[in-house]
Amino acid sequence: MQVQFLLLVLAALAGGVGVAHAARPFMTDDARLTTEGSCQLESWTRSYANRAEYWALPACNPTGNFEVTAGGGYFKPDGQTHSHDRMLQAKTLLRPLTSNDWGLGLALGRVWHPSVHPGPNNLGSTFLYLPLSVSMRDDQLVFHANLGWVQDQQTRLNSTTWGGGAEYWLHPKVMLIAEAFGDDRQKPFVQSGLRFSVVPGLFQLDFTRGTQPGGPGRSAWTSFGLRYTPDKLF
């Protein structure tokens, strides 16, 4: 019965029926923070048919309910000059997530694209979103939903962003993940895969495949990532 229910959930997500940053490899964020008095590192690579991306996003929680993430990405299109992004985000919880209950957060951030044009232009996007998470079956199954806003600093266009995802523990060390996400200006994206807890609570590896159904060619990607979350640093 659990497997049948999960398959229905994943089918809905994969259909894209209806962005932000979460625990790798999700783009849909969750109503959780990294450990109080500690930092975490999330890093991943995403490979397309004609380009590759490399990301590293360290995050720290100095007070217990205030997480700051600062990092960036490096992009290498085939036959073109590389570029990079920088990101800064602050996040807090309005209602902490607990087992068999729900949680709600608030995040605000900015992404800079300094390589769009020569010179100190620092173009980018400002974003705001609410992550909602719902825990079921003693955290074996957790749903996430996001609703947000983003403004492009070059065009001044405003967009509504959204995301929906699910995490399901197949085994104490193996999690099945799936999500759909996008905005009101383009077709949605979907991805699914597995997360492996190499050292539970400390070190994770993940693998996902994603695409934009009905989108332009070469939109499919493969992603590999890691997450390191030490218990206490300060």
**Closest to 183 (Cα-Cα) out of 222, 212, 154, 207:** 212
For residue 25, whether the previous peptide bond is cis, meaning omega lies within 30 degrees of 0, is yes
**Does the pLDDT at position 119 exceed 80?**
no
Side chain identity at residue 202, one-letter code: L
Task: Classify domain 2-214 by CATH number.
Answer: 2.40.160.40
State pLDDT tens for residues 145-186.
999 999 998 889 999 999 999 999 999 999 999 999 999 999
Q: What is the reported pLDDT for 121? A: 55
What average pLDDT is seen over the chain? 87
Rounded Cα distance between 123 and 127, Å, is 13
**Does the pLDDT at position 16 exceed 50?**
no
Q: What is the reported pLDDT for 116? A: 54
Contacts for 176 with CB less than 8 Å, ≥ 6 apart: 6, 10, 167, 168, 169, 170, 192, 194
Q: Roughly how many angstroms between the first and final C-alpha of the chain, as a whole number?
A: 44
Q: Where are the domains of the chain?
A: 2-214
Does this model's pTM top 0.75? My answer is yes
- Asked whether the beta carbons of 188 and 18 are under 8 A apart, the reply is yes
In terms of average pLDDT, the best of 20-34, 116-130, 164-178, 218-232 is 164-178
**Does the pLDDT at position 196 exceed 90?**
yes
